[in-house]
Amino acid sequence: MEANPVPAMERPLLEHHHCEGESGSWAFFGLDMEEVKMQMKIAVPMIITNVCQYGVNVVSVMFAGHMGEHELAGAALANSWALVTGYVVIIGMTGALETLCGQAYGAKEYLMLGVYLQASMFVTSVCAFLLTIFWLYSEPILIFIGQDADLCAMATMYLMCLIPGLYAQALLHSLTRFLQTQSVVIPLTMCAICPLILHFFLCYLLVHHTRLGFRGAALANSITLWLMVLCLILYMKLARSCQNTWGGFSPKAFKVVGPFLRLGIQSAVMVCLEYWAFEFLVLVAGLLPDSGMNTSLVAICVNTEALAYMVTFGFSAAVSTRVSNELGAGHLHKAKSAVALTLKFAVLLAATIAVLLLIGCNTWAAAFSDSWRIKENFAAMTPLLATSIFFDAIQGVLSGFMDRISLRHLKSDMHPIIYYTFLYQLE
């Protein structure tokens, strides 16, 4: 045993040594059934968890949409604005936990996971407070950038009811990453499924049986997110699996805020640039003639793409956990094999989702709106949307791999060039 072990976050992620059985090319490895089992145990529950967590937003927009095109447009604009200016910042910042907790777990420094979790909850809560102040001025900002005034008023009413949920997001994503890096995924899934089921009833009750109207869908959103947080906290308190990684509140958390911010800001920049590229389309749609219909239509496309990405993100979470753990244990060859396997599964799943969307586009559009105009135009856009979903799956897995080998700076450089130079030139 080493006399003075080096902390996990100070070790090099890729050590240059030869691993037995390693070949020159790893992109075409066969299926390692042991690795398949390990990834499926993480990926499948995480896919369900991600779909359920994001599905809360989508279900709320669906309930608002069935009240009319104008309500759908207002809820869609508010949801996109909340995502662009709030949620993605929180999601990006908590990305640092995947690296820090993943490698600490692989290096058997278990108590450090709880310390990193506390640092994440503190930083993201401060971010949520600052973002709340910004949200209070959303209506004049949206009008300033050219959005329809009536649509902005509707969106702002919806957005104000999402503010409590912003603080829930700060805790929820921190807790999710904390448990995910320990491969504790079944409880994550159960703590996402049960509140989502309840969310349908909450939306129906608040939208149709109170005076809140479409704002009830937003309030139901916030309530459901807090239920998810409370479920995860209760699990952490009762589960034996968290006893080794949660040692209670510690002042050490403030000492690791600096390292957390260095990784978190890089991750947030990358995530923001990626999400902004798509959510920006909703704002552009609001500048077009018939802004209500166009905003609704583009928002359906963006939400569909996001839900599909949640499936890929489950595999991205699996490869992030596996790569972090193997690198922390010094197993470079196994980390490479994990990436190759995940990429194969992601491509297969993305192709399946794209085909199902092409077949059932009318049924899917009907879940958001009864308007025949929206259904007709969505069907025309479906081939492009399906193509985008397929290629987005590949980049999602590769992004997860680059995160774990500390190449966020490269991603941060690449995304502005690809998304904002090439993509919008096509549009």
Q: How far apart are CA 365 and CA 173, in angstroms?
A: 29
- The candidate with the shortest Cα–Cα distance to 335, out of 402, 414, 396, is 402
Show me where the domains of the chain are located: 31-426
Give me Rg for the CA atoms of the chain: 21
Q: How far apart are CA 280 and CA 191, in angstroms?
A: 31
Q: How far apart are CA 311 and CA 229, in angstroms?
A: 21
Token couple for 204: 């129906």
Interhelix angle 88-106/111-135, rounded to 10 degrees, is 170
CA dist list (Å): 313 to 50, 54, 161, 287, 371: 8, 11, 27, 31, 31
Instruction: Read off the pTM.
Output: 0.76
Burial call 383-422: b when 16+ CB within 10 Å, e when fewer = eebbebbbebbebbbbbbbbbbbebbeebbebbeeebeee
Written as tens digits, the pLDDT of the chain (427 aa) is 444 554 544 554 444 444 444 444 444 445 667 777 877 877 788 788 888 888 899 999 999 988 888 888 889 889 889 988 999 999 999 988 888 887 888 777 878 888 899 999 999 999 999 999 999 999 999 999 888 888 899 999 999 999 999 999 999 999 998 888 887 878 888 888 999 999 999 999 999 999 888 899 999 999 999 999 999 999 988 888 778 888 778 788 888 888 889 888 888 888 888 778 777 777 777 777 777 788 888 888 888 888 888 877 777 777 777 777 777 667 677 777 777 777 777 788 888 888 888 898 888 888 888 888 888 888 888 888 888 888 877 776 666 555 554 444 445 555 555 554 544 444 4
